[in-house]
Amino acid sequence: MRRSQWALVVGLASLIIGYAAWANSFSRNGPGMFYLVGMGTAPDLITLRAIEAVGRADIIVLHDPQGKEDWADYIGDKEVWVIERFTFLLLGVDPDTLDDPAEKALALQHEEIRRQLIEKMTRAVREGKTVAVLEGGDPMMYGVTWYLEKLPEDVPSEVIPGIGAFQAASAAVKRSTPYGWDTNSVILTMDDWEGRTDTNEKLMALQTSMVFYTMHMDFPRLFEQLGRHYPADTPVAVVCYAGDRQRQKVIRSTVGGFFQDVDLKSIPLDKNMLMVGKFLDVGQARKDGLRSGRHFMEMMRYSSRREHQEHP
């Protein structure tokens, strides 16, 4: 983005934030609000709705101190709470089911921390303050949404969707992932974990397009599995820093040639997406030549012509 364009974006953001803060000052005596805000995968991919929500916020919640720097222009001098992701450990585990005393103690400790955090957020909203949890990308894709599950029902809340890594990675390869010549769907997934029922190898049996969020990904195991279900020449792409115009990089390869073409040490940890499927090569070409939609296209063409005749 050119400097003049970036200045325009920041200027517009400042105007919206200023307006939101002004409007919010008139509703201090009313109930507050809880926002879960998707901030996009890059600072210039934030939406106007997200800017407005952050502008209204009195309290900003981050899961990584880096957010203070990344979103400094939007946060300003607001109160910031940094909640470490380690706090989410053992979420959903009943401490009474754990035999290891140390593990049980840790589960109880974190359960209490989370309870106090929810109470703190609830108290702030009921006092008329607005709390905004900022998440990179789209918070509804492997984001932290348990706050929404734990908050009392009378606490008003809203999710602000963001431009996530899936959308940004698809834009980077300039291909629509559902179209794969003879496939019409895409599976979004991540690495397997203990107790998971929809394991990646089960999903691979469908041989449709797949997109992997690569947090903690075991690449050797994954490609061993892919090799059992996809032809060796099936195209793959690693998209690093999806959506970031300065750092974004696309590395292309195949299921069979991945480890010859890709140096795993050179790709950023947890900052890349893996895309697998024929869509990377064929684009929107379909085996049926879109004949299945012929009736609809003809109907729309007829409707358009009739409308033009009636309203030239």
pLDDT in tens, the chain (312 residues): 555 555 565 566 555 555 555 444 434 456 799 999 999 999 899 999 999 999 999 999 999 999 999 999 999 999 999 998 888 899 989 999 999 999 999 999 999 999 999 999 999 999 999 999 999 999 999 999 999 999 999 999 999 999 999 999 999 999 999 989 999 999 999 999 989 999 999 999 999 999 999 988 999 999 999 999 999 999 999 999 999 999 999 999 999 999 999 999 989 888 999 999 999 999 988 888 877 777 777 787 767 666 666 666
Domain assignment of residue 214, given as a range = 166-282
Domain assignment of residue 299, yes or no: no
**The whole model's pTM is what?**
0.83
Provide the domain count of the chain: 2
Indicate whether 8 and 30 sit together in one domain: yes
Does 19 fall in a domain? yes
**Has residue 291 been placed in a domain?**
no
> What SS3 class is residue 167?
helix
Could you tell me the CATH number of the domain that includes residue 233? Answer: 3.30.950.10
- How many Å apart are CA 196 and CA 192, to the nearest integer? 7
With 0-12 / 13-18 / 19 or more C-beta atoms within 10 angstroms meaning exposed / middle / buried, residue 252 is: middle
Decide if 287 is inside a domain.
no
Same domain? For 64 and 157 the reply is yes
Single out the residue in 131, 163, 195 at which a domain terminates: 163
Is residue 145 within 8 Å of residue 36, measured between CB atoms? yes
Statement to judge: residues 133 and 251 lie in one domain: no
Residue 67: predicted pLDDT: 92
Instruction: Supply the CATH number for residue 148's domain.
Output: 3.40.1010.10
**Same-domain pairing of 108 and 170:** no
Asked if residues 258 and 275 have their Cβ atoms less than 8 Å apart, the reply is: no
Tokens representing 20? 């939101």
DSSP H or E segment with residue 251: strand 249-254
| Domain's final residue, options 139, 163, 187 | 163
Q: Is residue 112 part of a domain?
A: yes
Q: Report pLDDT for 296.
A: 78
- Tokens read off for 85: 């992701």
> 170 and 153 in one domain?
no
Confirm whether 244 is domain-assigned: yes
Q: Would residue 309 count as lying in a domain?
A: no
**Is the same domain home to 111 and 197?**
no
pLDDT of residue 30: 65
Joined together, the tokens standing for residue 52 give: 């407005």
My answer on whether 11 and 123 are in the same domain is yes
The residues with which 133 forms a beta bridge, in sequence order, are 36, 61
Residue 17 and residue 146 in one domain: yes
Tell whether 9 and 145 lie within a shared domain: yes
Residues 213 and 237 in one domain: yes
Contact (CB, 8 A) for 277 and 210: yes
| Same domain membership, residue 176 and residue 156 | no
Choose the final residue of a domain: 103, 135, 163: 163
Is 196 found in the same domain as 59? Answer: no
Query: Is residue 254 one of the residues assigned to a domain?
Result: yes
